[in-house]
A and B are shown apart, each in its own frame.
Chain A
Amino acid sequence: MIGKLMGAAAALALLVGVASAGDFPDRDIQGIIQWGAGGSTDLVMRSVSPEAEKVLGRSIIMTNKTGGVGAIATQFVASQPADGYTLLMSAENPQLYKVMGLSNLDYGDFYPVNVLARGVPVLVANNDAPFNTIKELVDYVQANPGAVRMGSTGPGGLPSVVGGMLAAETDFKVTAVPFDGDGPALTAMQGGAVDFMPAVLGVAAEHVKAGRIKVLGIIDEEASPILPDAKPITADYPEFKKYLPWGPFFGVFVKRDTPDDVKAKLVEAFKAGAEKADFQKLLSDRGYVLLNISGDEADAFLRKWQSTTAWVVYDAGIAKKSPEEFGIAKP
């Protein structure tokens, strides 16, 4: 009897399959978010998806699969069939997996459906810290090597990369204290556990506006409308131009060998999501720069990002393996 039931079910499924072949999507799509609920990646994905669902005509079931700086989610999506039914909703991290020795995957194995947005890093400090600009910070650190405590989020995270850039261009020795994310690190900074930290503009902005922390400068070539007083780092250190624009990003990916018509349909859906006014307002309020790029354009962006960042972390001594081993070109 059970056998019959299963047979019937299988037959039904076969029927459905035949009836709608070539008509992507014919069932719900699974979106694997590589970071936890409530994080920036999670929020961006959950707000872009409702519009994409309308275009696709199916639900996108979003699942947080955390751990291993996102490597577990990345590995999972890579192990699924390349049929476009499993999306990787992720941030910049996979581009560093190879040099950090975490996984053999990076975005070379995936097709960028949409690289939605990029964040802008700022340097913020405890109100009592004896420096007010990036230049003063650098001078103070040089006068007191190792004594200044920098909030960090672990090797490969945004603070470590910005710290690496500073170390590459100036003589910059600080003690990095790692926290679980930029939120907890900013909280700890308000309590005085660290003196300064690099953070994403959107996360730090509200605290700066309320006067609970101060901003030293912005790691970009222009000031941001969110915090117009933050001076761009290139004003004092023009040599930083070669790294910029740089920042964490969010994107939606499928496996590289997914059929082209499926890719096109997904690109169309997420483009619609990214063009929605609500979504763009949400991004700009948090200080993110909308990218909304896909395909070759996105690939070029991803390659440049990887080459800049992988070499910075390698030169800073954070990486376990040389980017050269993986054919990542020196910028």
Chain B
Amino acid sequence: MKNQKTRRPGEVVFNAVLFAFSLFIFWQAYGISGFSSLSSAGTFPLAMSGIMIVTAASVLFRSMRLSVPQGGFAAFRREVLPPVVLIFSLFILAYSMAMKSLGFLAASFVFLLASIWFLERGRFSRALLLSIVSIVGVYIVFRLIFQVVLPEGIIPERAIAAAIGDFLKGGAKP
């Protein structure tokens, strides 16, 4: 266990956010059933958020006593959120937002292609190949074998799959 002398950049802010969150959750937990009885639905959440408040306060207090880190916001940017983490996180965010509208297949393909291309710096053809292979693999395992119906979006894969199925059966439809 290291004995920490200076706090990490942004530490007080993070601890303060957790403390504020605990207070908010305690208030919400109180709203479930107040202090009505030991067997009510709100008892356990109240107890847990109470523990969160006490521990978060102690952590916050302790971190405030540590000396201020060097470098200010620049250090935070360098150590906690370097550009590559920030950009990749934005990719992920865009991906998950696009999943419902574009559908799983299209969104995942674009995400993989873009992020492999970005992280590997260039070599587009390799990124393209890897993305196609992985998407096909995931589709076979999850959609075909495990019958997880992934968000369909703009590619009507159920219809395509049905068409291919019919075609393989020689067009013989019952």
Contact = CB atoms under 8 A, between A and B. Distances in A.
A16 B163 contact: yes
A26 B160 CA distance: 10
Contacts, number: 43
Interface string A3-44: 000100110110111000001001110100000000000000
Interface of B: 106, 109, 147-149, 154-156, 158-163, 173-174
Contacts of A147: none
A50 interface: no
A217 to B, nearest CB: 29
Given A6-B106, A61-B149, A28 B155 contact: no
A10 B158 CA distance: 12
A9 B174 contact: no
29 contacts: A6-B106, A6-B154, A6-B155, A9-B156, A10-B154, A10-B155, A10-B156, A12-B160, A12-B163, A13-B159, A13-B160, A13-B163, A16-B159, A16-B160, A16-B162, A16-B163, A17-B159, A26-B159, A26-B162, A28-B158, A28-B161, A28-B162, A30-B149, A57-B173, A57-B174, A58-B162, A61-B147, A62-B147, A63-B148
Interface residues of A, number: 19
Given A61-B147, A63-B149, A9 B155 contact: yes
A17 B158 CA distance: 11
Interface of A: 2, 6, 9-10, 12-13, 15-17, 23, 26-28, 30, 57-58, 61-63
A27 B162 contact: yes
A82 B63 CA distance: 57
B50 to A, nearest CB: 24
Contacts of B160: 9, 12-13, 16
Contacts of A62: 147
Contacts of B162: 16, 26-28, 58
B139 to A, nearest CB: 13
Contacts of A15: 163
A58 B165 CA distance: 10
Contacts of A30: 149
B3 to A, nearest CB: 46
Contacts of A28: 158, 161-162
Contacts of B154: 6, 10
Contacts of A13: 156, 159-160, 163
Per CB-CB distance, the 7 closest pairs between chain A and chain B, nearest first, are A57-B174, A27-B162, A13-B156, A16-B163, A27-B158, A13-B159, A61-B147
Nearest to A26: B162
A17 B162 CA distance: 11
Contacts of A57: 173-174
